[in-house]
Amino acid sequence: MSLNLAGILHGSALRYPDRVAAIDGDRQWSYRELAHGSRRLAAALANLGVRPGDRVALMASNCAEFTLSYFGILTLGAVVVPLNHLLVASEIAYHLQDSGAVAVIARASLEAQVREGVAAVPGCARLIWIGEGEVDDLQSFRLDELLKTCSPLPDIAQTEIGDTAVILYTSGTTGRPKGAELTHHNMYENARWCAERSRSVMPDQPVFLGTGYVALSALPLFHSFGQTCVQNASLFHGGRSVYLSRWDPDEALRLMARHGVTSFSGVPTMYFALLRAAEGKEIHLPALRYCGSGGAAMPVEIMLEFEQRFPCRIMEGYGLSETSPVATFHTPEFERRPGSVGKAIDGCEVAIFNERDEPCAPGDRGEVVIRGHNIMKGYYRRPEATEEALRGGWFHSGDIGVMDAEGYVFIVDRKKDMISRGGFNVYPRELEEILYAHEAVREAAVIGIPDEEHGEEVVAVIALREGATATAESIQAFCRTRMAAYKYPRHILFRDELPKGPTGKILKRELRGSCLSPGPAS
């Protein structure tokens, strides 16, 4: 059975060709313009030797060209590999090498680190710049020039429902980031559910994503939350997206007021920032009706304060990159329970398993497991990791949760040590490997602690080699050149020894207990 995720855009372009699809600064893109642009890019990629099934990396902050490029890659039948635009050169090289990407589409402002990363990966020489990048060789091009010179690809590639559409990089507490292969069916059905069910039965105003629907695209589009719940869901039935290139709560409020934004999706720290930015100001958002939250637990106090300040309801959900991402959600037809992430979405099952992979009784804690149309096909070129994650036909999330007798899910802890800082995932093992490369470091552990502004903050606890010296500033400087800016530890704590269990494993639980208020880096 054929299905191409690009049909989301092209189908809406047939139905609503002149409707505004995207607002990016002072520019507006109609559905016709966005769809034709994606077909032109598909043709350009084909002319450059990219074939259906090839992987193409996409690295840009939120902008209309991200959406155009995303669907251009899919229109050709190639696979989108979205990359965090904050990655440094060595991280870019890793992702390109691991995914086998044959081309990169990137913001020209990222040219230095992208060129350095690409130089380390044979076979990935084609570069397409969004903006005024250098075109100093036959394998480097500007997107705007390609769109002017290439005729549109006449037909959308006939991909199968089980073909990979997107590879999203994620990680656990061990090893390096893994690419979750999400199929056209995974992404299409998850976007359709968001468009047709998550907002469809509002108590005071029926909402079907389409006419009159305006979304603020503030969540990073390289992540599945932003892709599915904002970009793809908005396009499904002719909605409109307003792009915010980098998170700025003051600018977000200005855009929401100016463009009559009806829907906002974000992580809890974004809601906290919007409330603080609105303090003492005459800010009115009369069009705002629906807000969605995910990525971390929403503090009930913040939820209620936001709803008192603005005329909306916040609905919480839960998911992961491996689940496309939505697995559970609050929908208006059943009671909202603050603190819960809702119930399993249509076509998806959620259960709580104990350590023997047996179902837990209602109210008992265990690992959250999921199965349904939203589950990835596996981790790219990692059969053992795939088998472990999908054992017994269920995706094992690594999160600890509780389900009550009515099917409401509550996330209570994390089996993995992942840190969520301002909506970005930080993986301790990856940082620890870098810290261990420092000549003065004997032992290192990276943990997250609660932080009012960012949700969690990154802390490195270090024991130095005998006779070695290092300062917090020198450790941070070492990290900054080797990892994206959101990852480096803001707090450095030195210890003579790190606490360990009987097997020699560092006890991070003890470290968290002693580091809840680390103060400034020291």
Q: What is the pLDDT of residues 51-65, one digit of tens each?
A: 999 999 999 999 999
Using the predicted structure, report yes or no on whether residue 452 has a pLDDT greater than 80: yes
- What pTM did the predictor assign? 0.85
- What average pLDDT does this structure show over 282-295? 91
The encoded tokens of residue 139 equal 């394998």
Hey, what are 162's tokens? Answer: 């089980």
C-alpha 185/C-alpha 18 separation (Å) is 28
Q: What whole-number distance in Å separates Cα of residue 299 and Cα of residue 148?
A: 49
Q: Which of 219-233, 240-254, 443-457 has the lowest mean pLDDT?
A: 443-457
Cα–Cα distance for residue pair 337/316, rounded to 1 Å: 9
Query: What does the alpha-carbon distance between residue 320 and residue 22 come to, in Å, rounded to a whole number?
Result: 26
pLDDT at 242 > cutoff 60: yes
Report how far residue 281's alpha carbon sits from residue 366's, in angstroms, rounded to the nearest whole number.
45
Here the tokens at position 100 are 């086998």
For 2-59, give the DSSP string. B--TTHHHHHHHHH-TTSEEEEETTEEEEHHHHHHHHHHHHHHHHHTT--TT-EEEEE
pLDDT, mean of residues 180-199: 92
Judged on CB neighbours under 10 Å (0-12, 13-18, 19+), 14 is exposed
Q: What is the pLDDT of residue 138?
A: 61
Going along the chain from its start, the domains and CATH numbers come out as 7-309 (3.40.50.12780), 419-514 (3.30.300.30)
Specify the residue for token string 């994206």: 484
Q: With bands split at pLDDT 50, 70 and 90, how would you rate the model's confidence at 520?
A: very low
Report the C-alpha gap between 71 and 99 in whole angstroms: 19
Whether the pLDDT of residue 271 is over 60: the answer is: yes
pLDDT of residue 182: 98
Per-residue pLDDT band at 95 (split at 50, 70, 90): very high
8 A C-beta contact, residue 483 and residue 446: no
Backbone angles phi, psi at 512, to 5 degrees: -60, -40
Residue type, position 126, single letter: R
Of 394, 263, 258, the C-alpha closest to 322 is 394
**Residue-wise pLDDT tens digits, 132-152:** 867 777 689 999 999 999 999
- Alpha-carbon distance 510 to 500, whole Å? 9
User: Residue 409 is encoded by which pair of tokens?
Assistant: 């899910």
Pair 498, 473: CB distance under 8 Å:
no
Across the chain, what does the average pLDDT equal?
A: 90
Q: Which of 179, 228, 222 lies closest to 378, judged by CA?
A: 179
Check residue 417 and report its DSSP letter: -
Cα-Cα-Cα-Cα torsion 372, 374, 378, 380, nearest 10 degrees, comes to: 170
SS (HEC) of 162-210: CCEEEEEEECCCCCCCEEEEEEHHHHHHHHHHHHHCCCCCCCCCCCCCC
Check residue 144 and report its DSSP letter: H
H-run or E-run covering 454:
none
